[in-house]
Chains A and B, each alone.
Chain A
Amino acid sequence: MAFATWLSRLKIGGNASGAAQRSRRIPALIYWSPLALAFGNYFYTVKLISGRSMQPTLNPDSSLWRDFGLFDKFSIRSRHGYQRGDIVAIVSPENPRRMIVKRILAVEGDTVRTLPPHPDPEVRVPVGHVWVEGDDSFHTDDSNRLGPIPAALIDSKLVCILWPFDRVGRVTVPTTETLNSVHDWTRRSVQDAIERDKWRKSRVIKSSHSVPRGPHVY
Chain B
Amino acid sequence: MHPFAFATQALRRSAQVRLGRAREFWSKPCLYKAKVVGKSAFKLANMACALHIFAEYVGTVSLMSGLSMMPTLADSGEIVVEDRWSIRWNPTGIARGDLITLYSPLDPSRIICKRVIGLPGDVVCVDPTGQKAPSTEHVVIPKGHLWISGDNAAMSRDSRDYGPVSMSLVRAKLRARIYPDITIFRNPITYLD
Please choose the segment from A145-153, A166-174, A201-209 that sits at the chain B interface, where 4 or more of its residues have CB less than 8 A away. A145-153
Question: Within the complex, what minimum Cβ distance (angstroms) separates A29 from chain B?
Answer: 12
In chain B, positions 154-171 with a C-beta closer than 8 Å to chain A are 155-157, 162, 165-170
Closest A residue, CB atoms, query B50: A34
Neighbouring B residues of A95 by C-beta, 8 Å:
144, 168
Chain A CB within 8 A of B68 CB:
yes
Chain B CB within 8 A of A97 CB:
yes
Q: A217-B156, A217-B157 in contact; A153/B46 too (CB < 8 A)?
A: no
A150 to B112, CA, bound (A): 14
Question: Within the complex, what minimum Cβ distance (angstroms) separates B55 from chain A?
Answer: 11
Neighbouring A residues of B104 by C-beta, 8 Å:
128, 152, 218
- Which of B46, B145, B157 has most A Cβ within 10 Å? B46
Q: Which of A80, A96, A127 contacts B167 (CB 8 A)?
A: A96
Closest B residue, CB atoms, query A99: B168
Closest A residue, CB atoms, query B45: A35
Q: Which of B91, B156, B169 contacts A97 (CB 8 A)?
A: B91
Chain A CB within 8 A of B78 CB:
no
Q: A35-B49, A37-B49, A38-B52 in contact; A94/B166 too (CB < 8 A)?
A: yes
Chain B CB within 8 A of A93 CB:
yes
Neighbouring A residues of B170 by C-beta, 8 Å:
96
Contact of A218 with B157 in the complex, beta carbons under 8 Å: yes
Neighbouring B residues of A57 by C-beta, 8 Å:
none
Interface residues on B, range: 35 or more
Closest B residue, CB atoms, query A153: B168
Contact of B108 with A80 in the complex, beta carbons under 8 Å: yes
Neighbouring B residues of A114 by C-beta, 8 Å:
none
Tell me what chain B mostly uses at the interface: helix, strand, loop, or mixed: mixed
In chain A, positions 38-59 with a C-beta closer than 8 Å to chain B are 38, 41
Chain A CB within 8 A of B53 CB:
yes
Chain B CB within 8 A of A105 CB:
no
Contact of B168 with A92 in the complex, beta carbons under 8 Å: yes
Closest A residue, CB atoms, query B105: A150
Chain A CB within 8 A of B8 CB:
no
Question: Within the complex, what minimum Cβ distance (angstroms) separates B161 from chain A?
Answer: 9
A80 to B104, CA, bound (A): 14
Chain A CB within 8 A of B67 CB:
yes
Chain A CB within 8 A of B22 CB:
no
Q: Which of B92, B142, B155 contacts A96 (CB 8 A)?
A: B92
Q: Which of A32, A94, A213 contacts B106 (CB 8 A)?
A: A213
Chain A CB within 8 A of B143 CB:
yes
Question: Within the complex, what minimum Cβ distance (angstroms) separates A208 from chain B?
Answer: 20
In chain A, positions 92-129 with a C-beta closer than 8 Å to chain B are 92-97, 126-129
Chain B CB within 8 A of A185 CB:
no
In chain A, positions 178-218 with a C-beta closer than 8 Å to chain B are 213-214, 217-218
Contacts A38-B49, A96-B168 supplied; 7 other A-B pairs, CB < 8 Å: A34-B49, A38-B53, A92-B168, A128-B104, A152-B103, A153-B166, A213-B106
Q: Can you show 18 pairs from A to B with CB atoms below 8 A apart?
A: A41-B52, A41-B53, A41-B56, A80-B108, A91-B168, A94-B142, A94-B143, A95-B144, A96-B91, A126-B106, A126-B162, A151-B108, A153-B103, A153-B169, A154-B108, A214-B157, A217-B67, A218-B156
